[in-house]
A and B are shown apart, each in its own frame.
Chain A
Amino acid sequence: MNKTVTFRIWRGNSQGGEFVNYTTEITEGLVVLDVVHKIQATQANDIACRWNCKAGKCGSCSAEVNGVPKLMCMTRMDTLNTDKVITVEPMRAFPLIRDLVTDVSWNFRVKTKIKKFKPRPADAPDGTWRMQQEDVDRVQEFRKCIECFLCQDVCHVLRDHHKHDEFIGPRFLAYTAALEMHPLDTEDRLPELKQAQGIGLCNIGKCCTNVCPEHIAITDNAIIPLKERVVDEFYDPLAWIWKKIRPKG
């Protein structure tokens, strides 16, 4: 059944801009990205909108739909109240390029600063390793990340306080967790986590977990376990004694 909806889309660039209303007809089964494309095709050919797979796997079409960071391609119109105006705006934690497109390159620069995977010496003469599935299950959760950066966008440390120089954000805390908890990895990333990467700035509001389109439990399974490892290393005298008795497995 066709229905008329009004989209309020942010139009502008880093110098400024405004919300512009577009009214269009939608049919059953559409997602927000479809509607933006329809408006682009019929009313505003110059709307800048980044997208690629339309399947929730490339992480390109991140934006804020009704104020909440979402993938436009995975936000079905029937989950929104179409009787009211629907707001679509760019992510706020990154510099705006134009309309719905932001410059997320800061994330890639951050990633280069995280210590790389450093495996222990090979287990077999042919240079391969042996590990149990159960041991890698935990870190495989973090490998689901599609780098849409919605978690970075919603994190108030970046979004509101602009601590980009002191905090790497939930995406890269999960990335660090994937490396740090890997059964083969031997690198120590805890000093950087505590200092330059600012894990102490996270105040566990769980907004990152709430917006993750891959349903990764970023706070419970990545950030808090890393915070606990930082406590082991820097704040807990009993843990220091325990480590002497029983080395890390």
Chain B
Amino acid sequence: MAYADTLPKQRSFGQTTRPDAWWVKPIFIFLGFSAFIIYSTWAAFQGNHYWLAAGGANYVSPFYSPEIFGDSPHAIFHGKPGFWPAWLPFSPALLILWVPGGFRFTCYYYRGAYYKAFWADPINCAVGEPRKTYLGERSFPLLIQNIHRYFLYIAVAFVILLAYDALKAMWFTDPVTGASHFGIGVGTLVMLLNVFLLSSYTLGCHSLRHLVGGFLDSKTKSPSCAKTYNCVSCLNSRHMMWAWFSLFSVGFTDLYIRLCSMGIWHDVRIF
């Protein structure tokens, strides 16, 4: 008799003897991720209201930075790239959002969360699943998740660029003289907080933890690796928290700059 035949039969979808509200967490995760995906996709296709120059401000949305091609003062190259298909509406965000999107999609925390909330595999611990077959991350397509560290490399560069944007947001242009002077607006604080949260999420990555020292069995042979590993481990222990906070902050930063740019909200200068 095969070993599997000696085991209790697989429970049907949602079947469990858990009396608690096990379905609440996956529903919240589903709604949270869905809301972000819908908003970020909508914002990415807008192609406008992603920077703020009113009042001498120097803000740019994190969805659009680095702006490789575009029409804002933050663009590296102005206009639309020549290779862009005519039938596809152009937005600078579409050139870069695959990086943070890919980084989060292949992140170990997000994987565990969306396998549960979107694929019900399993929908929660000790609760029956909808499917009898299972391939896991051992074969295509989920084998691709192993690319995570490559997304990490680019994501770290993006965080540095967003930090540069936040530094630039501390300089306001005088509309009369055209001179730049130091200042802090609410938007500056929003962008700084966003960089802090994105850094805490990115630098707590499981792959980074492995790459900076986790690959070593004897970390004492490399004290710098040991220290870096301990720092990354410290952030990594709250990776889920940073993942959610940074997801919210990056969306809110775009929303803040967008609404200020549209004149619905007004950026307040603190000094």
Contacts and interface: CB of A to CB of B under 8 A. Distances in A.
Interface of A: 14, 64, 66-69, 81, 84, 87, 89, 92-96, 106, 131-132, 134-135, 154, 156-157, 159-165, 181-183, 185, 198, 200-207, 210-211, 219-220, 224-225, 228-229, 231-232, 235-236, 248-249
Contact of B217 (A135, A198, A207, A232): A135
B78 interface: no
B222 interface: yes
Nearest to B221: A249
A203 B8 contact: no
Given A67-B16, A205-B122, 13 more contacts: A66-B17, A68-B125, A87-B19, A89-B17, A132-B218, A160-B11, A161-B134, A165-B3, A198-B136, A201-B134, A203-B111, A224-B206, A236-B146
9 contacts: A95-B6, A135-B217, A160-B10, A162-B10, A203-B142, A210-B125, A225-B206, A228-B214, A249-B216
Nearest to A138: B219
A203 B121 CA distance: 8
Contact of A156 (B7, B18, B122): B122
A165 B3 CA distance: 8
A32 B111 CA distance: 35
Contacts, number: 148
Interface of B: 3-4, 6-8, 10-11, 16-20, 108, 111-112, 115-116, 121-122, 125-126, 128-129, 132-134, 136-139, 142-143, 146-147, 149, 206-207, 209-211, 214-222, 226, 236-237, 239
A68 B215 contact: no
A211 B126 CA distance: 10
Contacts of A200: 136-139, 143
